[in-house]
Amino acid sequence: MVPAAGDTNSQSTRVVITGLGVVATCGIGKDAFFDGLCSPAPSGPRRVNDFDPSQWFGPKEVRRVDRFAQFAVASAQMALDDAGPLKVDPDRAGVSFGTGMGGLESLENQTLMYAERGPEAGAKRISPFLIPMTMPNSAAANISMRFGWHGPSETITTACAAGTHAVAAGASLIKSGRCDVVITGGAEAVLTAVSIAAFTNMTAISTTGIARPFDIRRDGFVPAEGGAAILLESLEHALARDAHIYGELVGSASTSDAYHITAPAPGGAGAARCMELALISSGLTPSDIAHINAHGTSTPLNDLAEAEAINKVFGIPGPPVTSIKGVTGHALGAAGALEAVAVAMTIERRLIPPTAGYEEPDPEIHLDIVYGAPRAWDPGPVLSNSFGFGGHNGCIVLTPPAD
């Protein structure tokens, strides 16, 4: 019998990471991605120019799937391939995927075509697949259909925290006993003219095209696209097939600032509480955390608030901190998933990637920023932060695999 969600007898189930897939401007595939994180950052919007959807979709199918969902399916397939041979009960296999804005590119393209051709001619040319292409849940749906998995297929849309919340939700499906395996992650493709204009007009985007997390010269984020997927399994399921284990997801938390639709709460109060709850969920103390993968968007208010929150929880300066957004840019709903893959690879490679763009310290920020070059370390528990518009806060804690 399948245990019901929330079954207290199965809450001790341990959740491990056994597969990684990623599509990012700095690399497609886990190894190319991590190598890119340790290399000089590009400039300007972070487009994935070398992504070829024909590797995963036929010529007819590709026209019916928005770019963000293409990223999701591609990264999910890579994660499954990375995990090795997998026999799973389809009813106990689920999907939990995040996105901030769904199929915005398809919607904008079709809207422009309609406007150019006029109401009569334009209406006839609107794709009958436009609605399923724009649905935020189309990424999770396409993954479920691709692999024939009949367990829960769910979508998280909590802005820039969506990827992290999706990973936490996927882990909960396993901890509850509902699923043995879950593909989780996030995807985003919103580098459209209207989207960039909107972010520019709200003064969120860097005017220099350079992301400088925590640097005193930071002036906004650099928009990005991409996707990342993680295969989660119960420890028992992974051990039974002798799977390679990258790490264990030991805890998570979610809070709301309930303060402002875009600005963080003063002093990072909501973020600090989220970190504290993630530690409690993990059974860890602040001194146990060996590294923090920060949200670090390169915006003046958000970086300062996150730094203050980290200091409240961990003291000054606290554990070594990095933000990979100096390289990846900010992929909104995919960001937390990209960062979860980065953490798993950080543990695997025993190397913390540097914070690209960070050169001049901000006297108001008191953190141990990893910058200039990768930093070798002895892997320990890692906290990964994501904080989204609307005051959505998400944190997950990953640890190295047990001996």
280 and 390, same domain (yes or no): yes
- Distance, CA of 226 to CA of 235 (rounded, Å): 29
Q: Shortest CA distance to 33 belongs to which of 339, 322, 323, 355?
A: 339
Mean pLDDT (whole number) for 20-25: 98
Bigger pLDDT: 5 vs 194: 194
Q: What percent of the chain has pLDDT over 90?
A: 94
Detail the DSSP E strand segments found in 294-401. 320-322, 351-352, 368-369, 375-376, 382-388, 392-399
318 and 296, same domain (yes or no): yes
* pLDDT tens by residue, 248-297: 999 999 999 999 999 999 999 999 999 999 999 999 999 999 999 999 99
* Residue 64 in domain: yes
* Chain position carrying tokens 């763009």: 357
Mean pLDDT of the chain: 95
Q: What are phi and psi of 134, to 5 degrees?
A: -90, -20
With 90 as the cut, is the pLDDT of residue 35 above it? yes
Any catalytic annotation for residue 244?
Answer: no
Residue in 165, 237, 291, 295 annotated catalytic = 295
pLDDT at 5: 35
56 and 100, same domain (yes or no): yes
Domain-terminating residue out of 240, 266, 288: 240
* Residue 159 in domain: yes
Distance between alpha carbon 330 and the CA centroid of its chain, in Å? 10
Tokens of 195: 């989207």
C-alpha distances (whole Å) from 163 to each of 50, 97, 156, 241, 249 are 23, 7, 8, 27, 14
* Residue 246 in domain: no
Q: How many CA atoms lie within 13 A of 241 on its CB side?
A: 17
Mean pLDDT (whole number) for 170-191: 98
* Residue 2 in domain: no
* Residue 283 in domain: yes
pLDDT grade, residue 8 (50/70/90)? very low
227 and 326, same domain (yes or no): no
Any catalytic annotation for residue 330?
Answer: yes
- Distance, CA of 181 to CA of 366 (rounded, Å): 40
219 and 334, same domain (yes or no): no
- Distance, CA of 62 to CA of 100 (rounded, Å): 21
* Residue 144 in domain: yes
276 and 352, same domain (yes or no): yes
327 and 197, same domain (yes or no): no
Tokens of 342: 């980065």
Whether 307 and 366 have beta carbons less than 8 Å apart is answered as yes
Any catalytic annotation for residue 392?
Answer: no
pLDDT at 44: 80
At 330, which helix (H) or strand (E)?
A: none
pLDDT at 42: 87
228 and 259, same domain (yes or no): no
**Number of structural domains found in the chain:** 2
pLDDT grade, residue 1 (50/70/90)? very low
Residue in 165, 237, 291, 330 annotated catalytic = 330
- Distance, CA of 172 to CA of 181 (rounded, Å): 11
* Residue 305 in domain: yes
* pLDDT tens by residue, 121-153: 889 899 999 999 999 999 999 999 999 999 999
Q: Shortest CA distance to 249 belongs to which of 24, 93, 20, 68?
A: 20
pLDDT at 11: 55
As to burial, measured by CB atoms within 10 angstroms (0-12 exposed, 13-18 middle, 19+ buried), residue 176 is middle
228 and 320, same domain (yes or no): no
pLDDT grade, residue 120 (50/70/90)? confident
Q: Which domain holds residue 287?
A: 252-399
* Residue 36 in domain: yes
Domain-terminating residue out of 214, 240, 266: 240
In CATH, what number is assigned to the domain containing residue 145?
Answer: 3.40.47.10
Residue type, 238: A
Whether 206 and 118 have beta carbons less than 8 Å apart is answered as no
257 and 359, same domain (yes or no): yes
93 and 181, same domain (yes or no): yes
Q: What are phi and psi of 28, to 5 degrees?
A: -110, 125
Domain-terminating residue out of 173, 206, 240: 240
pLDDT at 401: 95
pLDDT at 9: 37
pLDDT at 402: 86
Whether 342 and 34 have beta carbons less than 8 Å apart is answered as yes
With 90 as the cut, is the pLDDT of residue 45 above it? no
30 and 157, same domain (yes or no): yes
Residue in 26, 160, 179, 395 annotated catalytic = 160
* pLDDT tens by residue, 81-107: 999 999 999 999 999 999 999 999 999
